[in-house]
Amino acid sequence: MKRISLTIFSLFLLLSCSTLNTSNKNIKWFENYEITPFLAVENLNSTYINELRFIEVRSSFYTKEIMWNNFGKWDKVIKPIEENHPILIWERRKLFDYQDELYTILAYGVENKKIMYSSIIILDSDKKDCLSNNSIVKDSLISYFSNKMKNLKNFNSNQDLYKEYLKMILTGEE
């Protein structure tokens, strides 16, 4: 009787533990994203634009590396107040072969004890938010950058990027 009780208890414990595991191991980090409003301030004017955040990443630098790998060195840098890492900007970049639109892409990310994400902001040639709900290219852009994240291999492999980035951080040169 004691042996049967122990077996039933063990089976109950095993089944209970397996049902308590609610984490989804099949979620791929490059598909785990959110669109979040980002407060942009320029010349005492402020507005919210949408930021595509890839969450559950291993580094906040992923989107910067994607942009470097595809378009080379950035055109401009914005250094947010009280932030360690700048926003890197690529201007007038063609993302899709099937259209002539030239985009402005801002690559950013946050990495601290509380949160980590790698993000991108995309504006069209008229400086309109391409990740807004009424954008006709929103889904294509999300797919484009998700695929780039998926295909990013050997993160930190581009030493030229890191040398240039570190030089900019340390010297202030853009």
Q: Which residue has the higher pLDDT, 116 or 165?
A: 116
Tell me, yes or no, whether 131 lies in a domain.
yes
Query: Mean pLDDT score of the chain, rounded to an integer?
Result: 79
Tell me, yes or no, whether 40 lies in a domain.
yes
**Residue range(s) defining the domain that contains residue 167:** 29-171
Tell me, yes or no, whether 114 lies in a domain.
yes
Output the pLDDT for position 59.
Answer: 83
% of residues, the chain, pLDDT over 70: 75
DSSP labels, the chain: -HHHHHHHHHHHHHHHHHHH----TT--GGG-EEEEEEEEEETTEEEEEEEEEEES-S-TTHHHHHHHHHH-S-SEEE--TT-SSPEEEEEEEE--TT---EEEEEEEEEESSS-EEEEEEEE-TT--BTTSTT-TTHHHHHHHHHHHHHT--STT--HHHHHHHHHHHHH---
Tell me, yes or no, whether 64 lies in a domain.
yes
Above 90 in pLDDT, residue 159?
A: no
Cα–Cα distance measured from residue 161 to residue 28, given in angstroms and rounded to the nearest whole number: 26
Output the pLDDT for position 48.
Answer: 93
Output the pLDDT for position 165.
Answer: 75
The pLDDT confidence band at residue 88, using thresholds 50, 70 and 90, is very high
Output the pLDDT for position 21.
Answer: 31
Q: How many domains does the chain have?
A: 1
Above 70 in pLDDT, residue 29?
A: no
Tell me, yes or no, whether 149 lies in a domain.
yes
Output the pLDDT for position 72.
Answer: 93
The pLDDT confidence band at residue 154, using thresholds 50, 70 and 90, is low
CA distances 164 to 40, 47, 62, 72, 127, Å, are: 26, 31, 16, 11, 27
Output the pLDDT for position 26.
Answer: 36
Tell me, yes or no, whether 137 lies in a domain.
yes
Cα–Cα distance measured from residue 112 to residue 50, given in angstroms and rounded to the nearest whole number: 21
Angle between helices 62-71 and 159-171 (to 10 degrees): 110
Q: Which residue has the higher pLDDT, 79 or 29?
A: 79
CA distances 75 to 88, 101, 148, Å, are: 8, 18, 20
Cα–Cα distance measured from residue 87 to residue 69, given in angstroms and rounded to the nearest whole number: 16
Output the pLDDT for position 30.
Answer: 58
